[in-house]
Amino acid sequence: MPKAIRYTLLSLRDLAASAGPFIVLAFALLALAYWWLDPNPPKRVTLATGPAQSAYEEFGKRYAKALAAEGIEVVLRPSEGSAANLQLLREGKVDVGFVQGGTSDYTEQDEEDLASLGSLFVEPLWLFYREDAARKVAAAARTGKTKASQAAGKADPAEDASLSSLTQLQGLRVNTGTPGSGVPSLMAKLLESNHIDPASLKISRLEQTPATVAFLGGELDAIVFASAPESLMVQMLLQTPGVKLMNFAQSEAYSRRFAFLTPTRLPRGVVDLAANIPPDDVRLVASTTSLITRTTTHPALQQLLAQAGNEIHGGAGWFKSAREYPNRDNSELPIAKEAERAIKNGTPVLQRYLRFWVANLVERMWLVMGIIIAIMLPLSRIIPPLYAFRVRSRIFRWYGRLRDIENRVENSGDSDRNSSKNKALLEELNDLERRAEKITVPLSYTDELYALRGNIHLVRRKLQRL
């Protein structure tokens, strides 16, 4: 092996040995920080959606597609609806779920275990009724008003085959959905505010799909559910002949009575401009649906879900303007920090140029890496002295033997001159010189090696003068 390469490898070996403890400590701190921060999220998350053909189910599929692009599998778990989703979250059976405002009462424990990833969209309370049922209500009202008019000598009132008040539902067959949907709880509050005894209605609790089949078959007079307009069921019922959507004429009053309700309006012709569906503006009341997560859900997953929400819900719709949602308003639970940052600032700069897992790793580790560098930088100053000591030790350790030989030379008496003892000392010096000639050190330390060899010659000359 050429001497230049040998010297280089030797120098690198000494440097690696000197810096080894420092490097091990640095990697140990990085490993500890990685374990503590846990920057990379799990590859699987469970999302509670809702009934078949509901808006929750449709949005769940969009979230699954959005996260699949980042290598995250979203397991969609169907449920009865909002209230069922909240219960699944409380029990820890799902990681995230769609929950409608006003369908449940939150506890102090919920505020510790759950957090909101933002308000996503409004869900109007859709109360569809059959026109023939409305005509029966109108006929009954007309009969009562006719008798009153005849008694007062007035003309008969004109027929009105439409419903605009919950009080008109009395006596009708109304489906309010399963308890897990949260709609029965919401309807109970609205009926109570109208001083309506639920017993005055023929209430059923069928799931959305069988209830719609029964409604279209004439077995029900009205059907109530809360859903985003993207729901296939909503789209179908809005365009079904003989089915009308109740106009909440008191929508403003409902919003003042219930903080979780918002007055909204379905514009004329928004469903089908050519067919002019609906033929008039329809006033509705709506609650805001949020994406709720457990606080134990990985922060990176929370961030990714919130970013997906920006893409999925950020466009204009029937009841919203572009970029109006997601937002941090109307939230009944604290907003998760990751979601707040995503809603406010959008996609982080690094994620626009790097894969999510790389950008996420850098974002979560950079501060810790800065701290580690601040700790290790002062410690790194011991490496050069340690390296110098390691190289010089290969030379200095022979000085002990040389000093011992010199002491014995100085202690030799006249009687010992030219004796076998001096010959033995000379042989030791020759052996020490042979060993010194085999010492290999980096070129920058050869002056010390030659100094050792020169000192050996000095002791030899002293011995030869005896």
Q: What pLDDT was estimated at residue 428?
A: 84
> If phi over 0 gives left and psi between -120 and 50 gives alpha, with beta otherwise, what is residue 153?
left
Contact 15, 7 (CB under 8 A): no
pLDDT of 238 higher than 80: yes
Counting other chains too, the contacts that 61-69 makes at CB distance below 8 Å and 24 or more residues apart are: 62/308, 62/312, 63/305, 63/308, 63/309, 63/312, 66/308, 66/311, 66/312, 67/304, 67/305, 67/308
Is 412 part of a structural domain of the chain?
yes
Q: Environment class of residue 360 by beta-carbon count within 10 Å: exposed (0-12), middle (13-18) or buried (19+)?
A: buried
Range of lowest pLDDT (97-111, 136-150, 343-357, 375-389): 136-150
Is 420 part of a structural domain of the chain?
yes
Element (H, E) at 151: helix 131-152
pLDDT of 8 higher than 80: no
Q: How far apart are CA 432 and CA 407, in angstroms?
A: 15
Task: Write out the residue range of the structural domain in which residue 393 sits.
Answer: 3-25+381-465
pLDDT of 229 higher than 70: yes
**Residue of higher predicted confidence among 367 and 144:** 367
Is 450 part of a structural domain of the chain?
yes
Q: Which residue has the tokens 């449709």?
A: 58
- The band of 437, judged by pLDDT with boundaries at 50, 70 and 90, is confident
Q: How far apart are CA 54 and CA 50, in angstroms?
A: 6
Q: What pLDDT was estimated at residue 166?
A: 92
What is the value of pTM for the model shown?
0.64
Q: What pLDDT was estimated at residue 412?
A: 67
Structure confidence by residue, pLDDT tens digits, 46-61: 999 988 878 899 999 9
Is 244 part of a structural domain of the chain?
no
Range of lowest pLDDT (101-110, 187-196, 283-292, 347-356): 347-356
Q: What pLDDT was estimated at residue 11?
A: 64
Is 404 part of a structural domain of the chain?
yes
Is 324 part of a structural domain of the chain?
no
pLDDT of 174 higher than 90: yes
**Residue of higher predicted confidence among 196 and 373:** 196
The number of domains in the chain is: 1
Angle between helices 356-379 and 3-37 (to 10 degrees): 120
Is 196 part of a structural domain of the chain?
no
Is 442 part of a structural domain of the chain?
yes
- The band of 349, judged by pLDDT with boundaries at 50, 70 and 90, is low
